[in-house]
């Protein structure tokens, strides 16, 4: 018992940490040592009893942590040490037995460890089972060796011919290139049958992996052989062409095209088509027309941004900041764009909606698209469609035609150099068809997010994916857009700018832009706020700001001239000297009634350039009941005048109006600025109020404007253009606006300055309008007396008629 105890007592030995190597007992091993500690440990062992504890570390660092050292290793005997140039020591050692690390005694100048023997615990196993296990290991080893190159035949035969399970395990475990952790598992396993079972599983897996690896290598070798064969054949063709005295420049050119095609890693269909064209080029004369056509075709196809994308920088805060920086207002438009970008962020591969920015000229449709591209980090391509009549402008020409070229979509992608640019199709409402085809029909596929992933240009004749591109279109008039094309787009309306919006755009954008453009500093030219309002009111009349920018540019030019002449060191533009710079006013103020007058009402109208005050005048004269409407009124406004007369007849008694006015009075309704055509139903309340005022003699408030459509029963119906109309009333200094109750929700779109400074009166019936607009309530007493007198007179006349006469009548 004492001998067994002494045999298992711990030993103090030098310890050598191995990287990427596990040593097994009864195995001779060779390895190199370069670390200083390892060299000192080997030297100490060689000078002592030649024993050293070899164990592996789980990482590859020079200074490893104790928890990275495996606890089970091998006590080995150092057989030979050989120092080589470069500080590397070559070691030959023999593993003696397994040992377990008890603890590390010291780590300087080398590792010294306390270890004790770790004997094998072999369980009893049926010899037949062991024999079957050994056979299985040999079979898997054969399969492994079939895929292992340069395996020595003698080594294979020594294992296959051996019947000793221990020898078979040791030889295979040492030679197999297994990971350190798996070899360590084999070392630590107790029982030969367990070790063989683990080795069998590892052999099986390695044989399978190596089989797959061999298949991959065979396929790769086959591809390389084919490419080499193709290379040799092409070189032979070059030599043959030189021997025949033919020009081999076309051959070289064709091979260059093939190299470029292969580098692009295109889909098989596209690669095959382009390769065929390159082969055709190789077989044609360099000076032929066909070679010229093929060259142009290949150059165009290879310039396309196949598999080239820009990375989207989708940050909603930055996008919003960019839109706010470049454009004032447009809250609804910006919100819709941010929603589209948010969806792009959550579903990058999804097909997006095509957006159409619709509105009058000069409101910023094109610049909005440019801001979106800038904020997303995408390439920007603008394609102007104004005046396009030929379908080939969109889809390109067949390459067989002389001077054939791709369409504008493909050309835009080539210029962008990216497959996912932002493409702006400008003025999509200006395209029209003729005998050459209809461009609108060609755009149906381009602007269909479900179909444009395989867009085929007539010139390219290959499918190109447009689904990653972001399309935005612009239009001034939706009525001219083909209905199927319009159905593919989501319409976002950009309304005309109000007076306040124009003011802010001038102050925040246009002045600084034009100063920079004309080489002026902000200190050299000052434009007063009142002068800006004067510019807006009397020198421009537009929906956008283009003319306004031209007027500011004119001021900059005149200021630059004065500064260069030395007349002034700085220029200040005010209301008093604006006319000196720009001449007399181009537009007069709206005709507005600021005093309480009979038969004159301030109506509100919407025009393409914004809202205006449209006063209506009514004059009542003795006559035969004729109604005259003048002022270039359209059919709808004329019908509104008839509705107004009919309604006033129905409420004549309430407002002290003679019930026979429609027979005894002539009525003339006029809208000033007679040369300007006017139409629409929203003047119904204005006409009715003016009629009641003129017929009753009650003045209408001069500080009130109104708008709304009426029905025969006196209901007030909602109207459009409330934002622009209310701004017109605010600009003219009116205090209140009467609007239909149905437009209450549209107040969200009204400028804050207007809402803060004006009273809004909501009318459900025309009586609400009259109560708010008339300066006093009607006196109906005279009418009641007249009606009573008329009834009494009729009764007296009735009594004068004989009884028999009354019966006959």
**Which residues are designated catalytic?**
682, 725
Length of the chain, please?
A: 809
Please choose, from the candidates 70, 304, 36, 72, the residue with its C-alpha nearest in 3D space to the C-alpha of residue 187: 72
> Between the CA of residue 764 and those of 241, 642, 714, 771, what are the distances in Å?
93, 20, 9, 12
**Alpha-carbon radius of gyration of the chain:** 48
Look at residue 716 and give its three-state secondary structure.
Answer: strand
In SS3 terms, 87-137 reads as CEEEEEEEEEEEEEEEEEEECCCCCEEEEEECCCCCCCCCHHHHHHHHHHH
Helix axis angle, 316-326 to 331-346, nearest 10°: 150
Please choose, from the candidates 739, 451, 703, the residue with its C-alpha nearest in 3D space to the C-alpha of residue 594: 703
Q: What span, in angstroms and rounded, lies between the C-alpha atoms of 507 and 513?
A: 10
Backbone angles phi, psi at 380, to 5 degrees: -115, 125
In SS3 terms, 43-101 reads as HHHHHCCCEEEEEEECCCCCCCCHHHECCEEEEEEEEEEEEECCCEEEEEEEEEEEEEE
Please choose, from the candidates 783, 778, 779, 723, the residue with its C-alpha nearest in 3D space to the C-alpha of residue 754: 723
- 554-559 contact pairs (CB < 8 A, 24+): 554/581, 554/582, 555/525, 555/527, 555/581, 555/582, 556/514, 556/515, 556/517, 556/518, 556/520, 556/525, 557/518, 559/518, 559/520, 559/524, 559/525
Token readout for 572 is 């200040």
Q: How far is CA 620 from the centre of its chain?
A: 62
Residue environment code for 237-253, b if the CB has 16+ CB neighbours within 10 A, otherwise e = beeebeeeeeebebbeb
Please choose, from the candidates 474, 443, 447, 449, the residue with its C-alpha nearest in 3D space to the C-alpha of residue 369: 474
Contact by Cβ (8 Å): 503, 532 = yes
Q: What span, in angstroms and rounded, lies between the C-alpha atoms of 238 and 55?
A: 63
559: which residues sit within 8 A by CB, 6+ positions away? 518, 520, 524, 525, 571, 573
- Exposed/middle/buried for residue 626 (C-beta within 10 Å: 0-12, 13-18, 19+): exposed
* Residue whose structure tokens are 């600084």: 512
Is residue 183 within a helix (H) or strand (E), and if so which, with residue range?
A: helix 180-188
Token readout for 200 is 């069998």
| Upper half-sphere CA count for residue 387 (Cβ side, 13 Å) | 1
Contact by Cβ (8 Å): 492, 333 = yes
DSSP string covering 666-685? EEEEE-SSTTS-B--GGGHH
In SS3 terms, 362-399 reads as CCCHHHHHHHHHHHHCCCEEEEECCCCCCCHHHHCCCC
The DSSP letter of residue 588 is P
Token readout for 784 is 């009641």
Helix residue ranges, H only, 244-330: 249-264, 268-282, 289-303, 316-326
Token readout for 791 is 């009834």
Bridge partners (DSSP) listed for residue 349: none
């Amino acid at each position: 018992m004492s001998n067994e105890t002494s045999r298992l007592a711990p030993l103090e030995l030098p310890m050598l940490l191995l990287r990427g190597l596990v040593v097994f007992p009864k195995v001779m091993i060779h390895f190199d040592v370069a670390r200083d500690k390892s060299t000192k440990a080997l030297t100490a062992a060689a000078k002592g009893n030649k024993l050293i504890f070899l164990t592996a570390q789980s990482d590859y660092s020079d200074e490893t942590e104790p928890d990275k050292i495996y606890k089970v290793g091998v006590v080995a005997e150092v057989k030979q040490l050989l120092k080589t140039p470069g500080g590397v020591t070559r070691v030959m050692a023999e593993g003696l037995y397994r040992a377990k690390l008890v603890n590390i005694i010291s780590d300087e100048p080398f590792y010294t460890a306390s270890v004790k023997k770790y004997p094998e615990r072999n369980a009893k196993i049926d010899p037949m089972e062991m024999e079957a296990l050994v056979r299985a290991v040999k079979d898997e080893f054969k399969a492994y060796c079939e895929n292992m190159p340069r395996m020595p035949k003698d080594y294979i035969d020594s294992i296959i011919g051996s019947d000793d399970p221990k020898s078979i395990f040791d030889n295979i475990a040492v030679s197999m290139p297994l990971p350190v952790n798996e070899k360590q598992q084999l070392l630590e396993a107790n029982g030969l049958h367990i070790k063989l079972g683990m080795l069998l599983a590892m052999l099986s897996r390695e044989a399978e992996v190596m089989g797959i690896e061999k298949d991959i290598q065979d396929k790769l070798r086959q591809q390389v052989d084919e490419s080499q064969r193709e290379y040799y054949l092409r070189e032979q063709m070059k030599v043959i062409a030189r021997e025949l005295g033919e020009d081999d420049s076309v051959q070289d050119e064709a091979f260059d095209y093939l190299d470029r095609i292969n580098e692009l890693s295109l889909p098989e269909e596209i690669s095959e088509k382009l390769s065929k064209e390159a082969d055709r080029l190789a077989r044609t004369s360099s000076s032929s027309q066909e070679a010229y056509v093929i060259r142009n075709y290949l150059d165009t196809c290879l310039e396309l941004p196949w598999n080239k994308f820009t990375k989207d920088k989708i940050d909603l805060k930055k996008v919003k900041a960019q839109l706010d920086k470049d454009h004032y207002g447009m809250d609804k438009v910006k919100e819709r764009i941010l929603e589209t970008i948010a969806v792009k962020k959550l579903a990058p591969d999804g097909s997006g909606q095509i957006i159409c920015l619709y509105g009058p000229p000069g409101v910023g449709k094109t610049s909005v698209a440019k801001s979106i591209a800038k904020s997303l980090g995408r390439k920007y391509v603008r394609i102007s469609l104004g005046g396009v009549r030929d379908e080939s402008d969109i889809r390109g020409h067949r390459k067989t035609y002389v001077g054939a070229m791709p369409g504008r979509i493909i050309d835009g992608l080539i210029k962008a150099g990216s497959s996912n640019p932002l493409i702006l199709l400008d003025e999509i409402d200006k395209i029209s068809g003729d005998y050459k085809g209809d461009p609108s029909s060609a755009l149906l596929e381009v602007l269909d997010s479900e179909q444009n992933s395989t867009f085929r240009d007539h010139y390219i004749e290959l499918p190109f994916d447009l689904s990653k591109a972001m399309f935005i279109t612009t239009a001034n008039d939706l009525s001219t857009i083909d209905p199927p094309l319009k159905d593919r787009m989501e319409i976002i309306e950009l309304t005309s700018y109000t007076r306040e919006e124009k003011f802010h755009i001038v102050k925040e954008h246009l002045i600084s832009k034009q100063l920079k453009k004309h080489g002026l500093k902000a200190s050299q030219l000052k434009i007063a706020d009142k002068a800006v309002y004067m510019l807006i009111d009397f020198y421009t009349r537009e929906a956008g700001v283009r003319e306004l920018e031209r007027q500011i540019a004119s001021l900059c030019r005149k200021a630059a001239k004065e500064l260069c002449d030395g007349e002034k060191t700085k220029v200040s533009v005010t209301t008093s000297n604006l006319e000196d710079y720009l001449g007399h006013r181009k537009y007069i103020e709206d005709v507005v009634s600021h005093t309480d007058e009979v038969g004159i009402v301030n109506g509100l109208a919407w025009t393409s350039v914004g809202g205006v005050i449209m006063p209506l005048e009514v004059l009542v004269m003795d006559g035969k009941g004729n109604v005259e409407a003048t002022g270039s009124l359209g059919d709808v406004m004329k019908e509104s005048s008839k509705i107004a007369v009919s309604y006033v007849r129905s409420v004549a008694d309430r407002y002290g109006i003679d019930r026979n006015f429609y027979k005894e009075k002539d009525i003339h309704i006029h809208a000033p600025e007679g040369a300007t055509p006017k139409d629409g139903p929203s003047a119904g309340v204005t006409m009715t109020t003016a009629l009641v005022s003129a017929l009753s003699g009650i003045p209408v408030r001069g500080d009130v404007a109104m708008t709304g459509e009426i029905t025969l029963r006196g209901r007030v119906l909602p109207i459009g253009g409330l934002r622009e109309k209310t701004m017109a009333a605010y600009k003219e200094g009116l205090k209140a606006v009467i609007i239909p109750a149905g437009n209450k929700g549209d107040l969200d779109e009204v400028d804050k300055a207007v809402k803060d400074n004006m009273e809004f009166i909501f009318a459900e019936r025309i009586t609400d309008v009259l109560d708010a607009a008339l300066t006093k309530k009607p006196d109906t007493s005279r009418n009641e007396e007249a009606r009573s007198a008329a009834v009494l007179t009729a009764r007296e006349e009735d009594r004068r008629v004989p009884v028999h006469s009354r019966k006959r009548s």
